[in-house]
Structure 1
Amino acid sequence: MTQGTLDRNSFEAIEAYVLDRMHADERIRFEQRIAMDAALRAEVDLERDNIRAVELGGMSRMLN
């Protein structure tokens, strides 16, 4: 997998992982994949950053 070229299943798995929506056994397997795949790890980090940015943007609007 190269960064920026995710298939739908990979994107959904990353999203479920970042949003803590994976079952424990699935999470363990996914974390093993992350540990061995630098490109996947980069995609997970990017998704985490994107979600954080959206959350911060929402908080900013609530404060204004």
Structure 2
Amino acid sequence: MTSFRKWSEVRADIVANSGGEETVAEARRWHQAYIDHYCRAERAQKPGPVTNHIADEPPQSRRLA
């Protein structure tokens, strides 16, 4: 079985090698903004459920009473 190191054991080395806490925090903010932008772009390309529902319905004629 493979043993993995805990994040708490690895984090100090990563922070030290990357330039400090502020650099790690900035990288996290940048990464999260990238993910958020990607998700918004994906949602913008997909039609919403209401649009799909209306598009799939057959046209209905109006009854005049």
TM-score by length of 1: 0.45
Q: Which one has the bigger helix percentage?
A: 1
Higher relative contact order (CA 8 A, sep 6+): 1
Question: What TM-score, normalized to structure 2?
Answer: 0.44
